[in-house]
């Protein structure tokens, strides 16, 4: 399995690193990446087809966020520079499970990781949330803090998304997305953006990133005794889907100590913190 850490300073080059993760999975090598992308608003294909697209790009740029296009559907997603992103890439075959299986397993691991850190989170999203979709995680009774998407090829799949760690991040995202979504004529409630901090979790972005990373690596390497790199489940019941890993272990044991088969590549700036060890 391959683990990427760090980011490129240019948003386009940074996205190419995640594309490499999917290419590796296409060749049979699963991978994980959890990082803080450069400051940007990433527009989806649906956005680029609207009449207000150029206005939306200008609104993002005026707010200090680089406007870029991503090659998947969905609506615009903003990253403040400390907002987290995650990606898990797996090879696909007749035994590797369905799209829903992968969504359910990753959703489960993300919620377990944040709950282990003290955050009270549930699946679902409030009305008027950013990048609206069927697969999200929210503060219980509050705002959305994780959005999930999936890209599927013939031989590989990538489950990816954004994670809002702090109240400062949610404030920054609300400010840029308000004029951006207004230009795109998309309903958006600025108060619908939640965060791990608002859910009762830590404000230390590194701790959040490492807990999520540890959980995703565990999902691929252990996955209830299945072959490494597969995500195979047939139910969305919490007691059945995915390992509920005690990700607090990530604070005292490194990924390499738990999973010596993991190969790590550091790319660009190693964020959120340069002092982390594998």
Q: What is the CA radius of gyration of the chain?
A: 17
Looking at residue 225, its pLDDT comes to: 43
Q: Poorest-confidence range of 7-11, 89-93, 236-240?
A: 236-240
Q: CA-to-CA distance for 168 and 16, rounded, in angstroms? A: 27
What average pLDDT does the segment 179-198 reach? 97
Is 125 inside any structural domain? Answer: yes
Taking a C-beta distance cutoff of 8 angstroms, is the pair 269, 37 a contact? Answer: no
Residue-wise pLDDT tens digits, 130-145:
988 889 999 999 999 9
Is 235 inside any structural domain? Answer: yes
Looking at residue 156, its pLDDT comes to: 93
Q: CA-to-CA distance for 139 and 163, rounded, in angstroms? A: 12
Residue-wise pLDDT tens digits, 150-174:
998 889 999 999 999 999 999 999 9
Enclosing domain of residue 123:
2-268
Looking at residue 95, its pLDDT comes to: 64
Looking at residue 265, its pLDDT comes to: 86
pLDDT band at 39 (very low <50, low <70, confident <90, very high): very high
pLDDT band at 272 (very low <50, low <70, confident <90, very high): low
Looking at residue 193, its pLDDT comes to: 98
Residue-wise pLDDT tens digits, 200-222:
999 999 999 999 999 999 998 86
pLDDT surpasses 50 at 53: yes
Class of residue 49 by CB neighbours under 10 A (exposed 0-12, middle 13-18, buried 19+): exposed
* Tally of domains within the chain: 1
pLDDT band at 227 (very low <50, low <70, confident <90, very high): very low
Q: CA-to-CA distance for 234 and 214, rounded, in angstroms? A: 23
CATH code of the domain in which 70 resides: 3.30.930.10
Is 43 inside any structural domain? Answer: yes
What average pLDDT does the segment 36-48 reach? 93
Is 189 inside any structural domain? Answer: yes
The rounded percent of the chain whose pLDDT value lies above 70 is: 83
Taking a C-beta distance cutoff of 8 angstroms, is the pair 220, 228 a contact? Answer: yes
Is 26 inside any structural domain? Answer: yes
Residue-wise pLDDT tens digits, 60-115:
999 999 999 987 667 899 999 999 999 999 998 766 678 999 999 999 999 999 99
More confident residue, 216 or 262: 216
Looking at residue 259, its pLDDT comes to: 78
Looking at residue 47, its pLDDT comes to: 93
Q: CA-to-CA distance for 89 and 25, rounded, in angstroms? A: 6
Looking at residue 45, its pLDDT comes to: 87
Class of residue 66 by CB neighbours under 10 A (exposed 0-12, middle 13-18, buried 19+): middle
Looking at residue 21, its pLDDT comes to: 92
Polymer length in residues for the chain: 278
Is 108 inside any structural domain? Answer: yes
Angle CA(123)–CA(271)–CA(77) in degrees, nearest 5? 45
């Amino acid at each position: 399995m391959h683990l990427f850490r760090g980011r490129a300073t240019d948003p386009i080059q940074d996205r190419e690193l995640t594309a490499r993760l999917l290419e590796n999975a296409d060749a049979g090598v699963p991978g994980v990446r959890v990082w803080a992308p450069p400051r940007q608003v990433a527009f989806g294909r649906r956005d680029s087809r609207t009449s207000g697209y150029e206005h939306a790009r200008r609104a993002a740029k005026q707010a200090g966020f680089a406007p870029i296009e991503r090659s998947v559907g969905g609506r615009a997603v903003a990253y403040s520079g400390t907002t987290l992103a995650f990606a898990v890439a797996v090879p696909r075959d007749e035994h590797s499970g369905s799209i829903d299986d992968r969504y359910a397993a990753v959703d489960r691991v993300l919620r377990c990781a944040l709950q282990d850190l003290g955050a009270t989170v549930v699946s679902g999203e409030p009305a008027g949330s950013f990048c609206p979709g069927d697969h999200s995680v929210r503060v219980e009774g509050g705002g959305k803090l994780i959005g999930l998407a999936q890209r599927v090829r013939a031989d590989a799949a990538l489950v990816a998304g954004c994670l809002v760690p702090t109240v400062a991040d949610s404030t920054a995202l609300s400010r840029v997305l308000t004029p951006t979504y207004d230009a795109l004529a998309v309903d958006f409630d600025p108060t619908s953006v939640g965060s791990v901090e608002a859910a009762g979790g830590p404000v230390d972005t590194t701790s959040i990133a490492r807990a999520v990373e540890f959980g995703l690596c565990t999902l691929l390497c252990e996955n209830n005794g299945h072959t490494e790199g597969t995500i195979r489940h047939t139910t969305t019941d919490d007691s059945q889907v995915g390992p509920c890993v005690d990700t607090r272990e990530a604070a005292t044991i490194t990924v390499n100590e738990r999973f010596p088969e993991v190969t790590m590549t550091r790319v660009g700036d190693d964020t959120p913190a340069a002092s982390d060890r594998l």
